[in-house]
Amino acid sequence: MREAGVHRLVYSSSATVYGAPQYLPADEQHPTGAGLTNPYGKTKYFCEQVMQDLAASDKEWRLVSLRYFNPVGAHPSGRIGEDPLGPPNNLMPFVAQVAVGKREELSVFGDDYNTPDGTGVRDYVHVVDLAEGHVMALDKAFSKSFRGYASYNLGTGRGVSVLEMIEAFCRASGKPVPYRVVGRRAGDVASVVASCSLAEEQLGWRARRDLQEMCEDAWRWQKLHPNGFRSCQ
């Protein structure tokens, strides 16, 4: 990038850099790198450290790291969506595949967490809100007043449990989503919820789409493409 004269970067980071949260909602001042629960979070943390060191050593760089919480949903047209290869590792695409009849049931990993209904709580954000956040991050990177490194949380600030997600998807799709409670999954934490006030203050960004819209758009994609992008061939 330096050799090509490119000194601006918007990086896709993750809330996993916070590890097991010490407090909620987690803001950008929350410690990172401590108690990381999986290799994915470690790679994001390491990349953020490289970016911070680079910005400190060379003032030409303008680096923005966006810490995604849990992106879900699809483009409202139903033409672009999430198409996992193999069994989905994330909740919503698995729920969608059960609802469309591609899979028999959903495994709920643990119902004994210290949360309102015992299942894990996450901060889900619509993928279109996330895309808009990237546009605003680019505006930041091209601002003449900005140099160095900055990181921002992108979430909604509202936690949703696994059972709440299942219920919302059933409403959106009109389909049942059978599930079975199994043991906890290694590396999972009870709750992760974002504080997004810094992104609103400095980027002018806030999530505008709610859980119902996330589910409706994901279902539209899944219903039109039961076999993912292979349905388009």
Comparing CA positions, the residue from 232, 230, 229, 221 lying closest to residue 100 is: 221
Question: Active site includes 11?
Answer: no
CB atoms within 10 A of CB 114: 8
Assess contact for 195 and 182: CB atoms under 8 A. Answer: no
Spot the catalytic one: 11, 40, 68, 113: 40
Which tokens sit at 48?
């953020």
Separation between Cα atoms, residue 199 and residue 102, nearest integer Å: 38
DSSP per residue over 169-203, as a string?
A: HHHHHS----EEEEPPPTT--SEE-B--HHHHHHT
- The strand order across the sheet containing 160-161 reads 160-161, 121-122, 191-192
Instruction: Give the active site residues.
Output: 40
